[in-house]
A and B are shown apart, each in its own frame.
Chain A
């Protein structure tokens, strides 16, 4: 907005001169004073004028969020209902697709909705859940805490839910661990992490939203360290232990990590934040978890990535196939920095080197730095957190899987969100830039009847049913071989491919798509393909993509219909391999041993219960594929409240 008032000529605006024009002629002192005030007025209007010009691009005031670095034109006049908008969360993108304009929000009935509940994924009995919190193994039990709304199936009134398990699969619900009963967490008992001290004791750091809506960090610990179930928790009487430091806004300071030891014997944590639109991770050292010193600088920062939520920082071994305690460091170790980006609701990680002395981290490949490179999961997956499982010497990853249906449906069914099956994390030695994620081996205890298919040939443009009985609770391991001749003979092209901008499985290429159709009905009116697509460049090089196509997953129009996926590196000599966990409304898919992972939520109206089937498909135009599979029916994990007899199993 331009201030159209003209610059005030020095001599004429005597009206603003409080000493009055007549007095100018009388005393030199008055002259100085009048000139002073005139110049002050000029300066004032000059400042006003220039600040108005500046505010067109950054109306947000300094004292709230700083000026927005990204030009406002990117976000201007973006209609809510059209296409993937920049920076809008995925859930808000799953809007009624253009081609479904004639259809209404689906009349979900109880049969369809109750089918959606999962059999072996962690979820509370009802209501809303989000971030995983403070996972740990303690005195024989795996503990899982989580952001929970005790009142509704939408986010709000957040407290800490709690559950325990002997094997990360069979969970028993316990009472709420922490509620919003202090001024420093009255408006939210938010995400936090556990640290196990050398003497075996546990401390928990978590974010509280105070009565004034300031984000602070608080310390809590078990009321009774001899209770293996860790039912009761005590909040430190001197909370909060950390408040937003200078330069960090009250609402940009949350999700403290597990602490790790420095070479000086202090504990170190990192907390995500942002400065303008640069995502950062602040570093604090502490000896007692009560008094902290903020390090100069940050662990790392990446411009234009926005707020870093749920930051995670952990070591991975370059050589061994096991996890590492968070404090481990050394030449055979790499460090991972992970951030959940508020702006796009995705979890990103990057592998690099930790410089202990000054508490900084440098990515190995700046092109795939945090927030601009690899994601844990290319579907619905957020706020992930790892912990070191000292019981089995592995690093385990939890991730929050939200819904991609409408909130009205969530209301109707009375719950929203599940957690992924916990995954082990390993450094992918063969590739060097990736992590490998794989469902924890304990999930195999749910396997029931198995079916084996060897070298099933699927011609180009065909579908092969796989008779495995009920197809809503499955563990599928598959290997695909594509016709070598077709691979060589196909002419390459310069056309770039991406899962999300492709037409899904109806878009046929020479060498793809091919894979599995899960949660499909006999007539294939509803189907969820999980598949590979091989693209051959004009240089003859092959690129393999791994995708999950939801465009025909349901005839309902009020569910997400997007196509997820990404490139998956495939090395010379590697077969294309796939693992898929189907559990009612959640499908978790792992390609190449977990190098690229996609989790999606699926809400069929017909392909449910006994009508859900499994197929192999090959919609390529030139290549046939042959598939070998082992498929198991999966039992329920019978997740339920901890039995009342108070005996620990």
Chain B
């Protein structure tokens, strides 16, 4: 019985030593991929959008913050490109001159987002100079804002939903990249 007790204590000591040397971060990485998404998204202004956008990409489980930033930017690029296509299609059939003007402005803003803001954000995150990424993503949010404002006096805002997603997702990406500073 004494043998058992002392051996048990030895095991105990051994176990805790083992555990204390196990890199906790590895446990977090492999065991709690979903956790990383949630804790990161808590630091963004649009938690639910952030979580659904990131989790819809299988790469998000096991990604670090830089990886999540890249996933977010990819999603943003897809959404912005799709919205730009939507705008172009609407422009083809629009008759009302004021509506056309607002749509044309939005096309300009979305061109800036897709052609400049997002590539800058991607490059900044991958190469490790994140401040330019914050700038790019924030600018994208501004462009979406400007697009929305053009419709303030319009009876209808046909791209309201997608524009809002682009704006909010840009803000999310900006917050995530901010964490890399």
Complex formed: what's the CA distance from A79 to B4 in Å? 60
Closest to A210 in B: B127
Shortest CB distance B114–A (Å): 11
Decide yes or no: A407 and B139 within 8 Å by CB, A59-B36, A96-B145 being known contacts: yes
Which one, B11, B35, B105, B128, contacts A32 given CB within 8 A? B11
> B12 near A213 (CB under 8 angstroms)?
no
> A61 near B128 (CB under 8 angstroms)?
no
Q: With an 8 A cutoff between CB atoms, is B7 at the interface?
A: yes
Residues in A with CB closer than 8 Å to B32 are 1, 52, 55
Q: With an 8 A cutoff between CB atoms, is B161 at the interface?
A: no
Decide yes or no: A345 and B131 within 8 Å by CB, A43-B19, A102-B152 being known contacts: yes
> B131 near A104 (CB under 8 angstroms)?
no
Residues in A with CB closer than 8 Å to B36 are 59
Residues in B with CB closer than 8 Å to A290 are none
Residues in A with CB closer than 8 Å to B27 are 47-48, 51
Complex formed: what's the CA distance from A48 to B22 in Å? 11
Residues in B with CB closer than 8 Å to A95 are 138, 142, 145
> A1 near B39 (CB under 8 angstroms)?
yes
Contact string, A399-427, partner B, CB cutoff 8 A, digits 1/0?
Answer: 00000001110010000000000000000
> A60 near B65 (CB under 8 angstroms)?
yes
Near B by CB (< 8 A), chain A positions 169-204 give 187-188, 190
> B24 near A47 (CB under 8 angstroms)?
yes
Q: With an 8 A cutoff between CB atoms, is B74 at the interface?
A: no
> B136 near A154 (CB under 8 angstroms)?
yes
Residues in A with CB closer than 8 Å to B4 are 28, 31-32
Decide yes or no: A187 and B178 within 8 Å by CB, A51-B24, A91-B135 being known contacts: no
Q: Report how many A-B pairs have Cβ atoms within 8 Å.
A: 197
Complex formed: what's the CA distance from A54 to B136 in Å? 32
Q: With an 8 A cutoff between CB atoms, is A456 at the interface?
A: no
Decide yes or no: A59 and B39 within 8 Å by CB, A36-B15, A88-B138 being known contacts: yes
Shortest CB distance A565–B (Å): 23
Interface centre among A68, A209, A408 (most CB of B within 10 A): A408
Residues in A with CB closer than 8 Å to B47 are 77
Decide yes or no: A40 and B25 within 8 Å by CB, A155-B124, A213-B127, A307-B181 being known contacts: no
Decide yes or no: A51 and B45 within 8 Å by CB, A152-B116, A154-B120, A155-B124 being known contacts: no
Decide yes or no: A155 and B120 within 8 Å by CB, A87-B178, A96-B145 being known contacts: yes
Q: With an 8 A cutoff between CB atoms, is A225 at the interface?
A: no
Closest to B47 in A: A77
Task: Determine chain B's interface SS by DSSP, over half rule.
Answer: helix
> A80 near B138 (CB under 8 angstroms)?
yes
> A213 near B126 (CB under 8 angstroms)?
yes
> A56 near B120 (CB under 8 angstroms)?
no
Near B by CB (< 8 A), chain A positions 59-93 give 59-65, 68, 72, 75-81, 87-89, 91-92
Q: With an 8 A cutoff between CB atoms, is B85 at the interface?
A: no
> B138 near A92 (CB under 8 angstroms)?
yes
Shortest CB distance B158–A (Å): 18
Interface centre among A55, A56, A80, A154 (most CB of B within 10 A): A80
Q: With an 8 A cutoff between CB atoms, is A558 at the interface?
A: yes
> A342 near B14 (CB under 8 angstroms)?
no
Interface centre among A28, A62, A95, A156 (most CB of B within 10 A): A156
Near B by CB (< 8 A), chain A positions 105-151 give 105
Decide yes or no: A76 and B43 within 8 Å by CB, A43-B19, A59-B36 being known contacts: yes
Decide yes or no: A59 and B40 within 8 Å by CB, A105-B109, A251-B128 being known contacts: yes
Near A by CB (< 8 A), chain B positions 41-62 give 42-45, 47
Residues in A with CB closer than 8 Å to B115 are 411
> A408 near B127 (CB under 8 angstroms)?
no
> B128 near A92 (CB under 8 angstroms)?
no
Q: With an 8 A cutoff between CB atoms, is B98 at the interface?
A: no
> A156 near B149 (CB under 8 angstroms)?
no
Complex formed: what's the CA distance from A632 to B180 in Å? 46
Complex formed: what's the CA distance from A96 to B147 in Å? 12
Contact string, B129-153, partner A, CB cutoff 8 A, digits 1/0?
Answer: 1111011101101110110011010
> A156 near B23 (CB under 8 angstroms)?
no
Shortest CB distance B140–A (Å): 9
> B179 near A36 (CB under 8 angstroms)?
no
Decide yes or no: A406 and B142 within 8 Å by CB, A77-B45, A79-B171 being known contacts: yes
> B146 near A92 (CB under 8 angstroms)?
no
Complex formed: what's the CA distance from A61 to B109 in Å? 36
Interface centre among A52, A154, A250 (most CB of B within 10 A): A154
Complex formed: what's the CA distance from A480 to B143 in Å? 43
Which one, A35, A102, A104, A407, contacts B11 given CB within 8 A? A35
> B11 near A92 (CB under 8 angstroms)?
no
Residues in B with CB closer than 8 Å to A56 are 39
Near B by CB (< 8 A), chain A positions 523-558 give 558
Residues in B with CB closer than 8 Å to A42 are 15
Q: With an 8 A cutoff between CB atoms, is B91 at the interface?
A: no
> A75 near B178 (CB under 8 angstroms)?
yes
Residues in A with CB closer than 8 Å to B42 are 72, 76
Residues in A with CB closer than 8 Å to B130 are 342
Interface centre among A32, A42, A44, A155 (most CB of B within 10 A): A155
Complex formed: what's the CA distance from A92 to B142 in Å? 9
Which one, B31, B66, B112, B124, contacts A64 given CB within 8 A? B66
Which one, A63, A96, A408, contacts B25 given CB within 8 A? A63
Residues in B with CB closer than 8 Å to A62 are 23-25
Decide yes or no: A51 and B142 within 8 Å by CB, A43-B19, A44-B19, A88-B178 being known contacts: no
Given contacts A80-B45, A407-B143, 5 further A-B contacts (CB under 8 A): A1-B32, A60-B65, A154-B116, A155-B129, A157-B123
Cross-chain pairs A/B with CB under 8 angstroms, 9 sampled: A1-B35, A43-B16, A88-B134, A91-B138, A105-B142, A250-B128, A406-B142, A408-B108, A411-B115
Q: Using a CB–CB distance below 8 Å, which chain B residues touch chain A? A: 3-4, 7-8, 11-12, 14-16, 18-20, 22-25, 27-29, 31-32, 35-36, 38-40, 42-45, 47, 64-66, 105, 108-109, 112, 115-117, 119-120, 123-124, 126-132, 134-136, 138-139, 141-143, 145-146, 149-150, 152, 170-171, 174-175, 178-181
User: 5 shortest A-B CB distances, which residue pairs?
Assistant: A251-B128, A92-B138, A59-B39, A105-B146, A80-B171
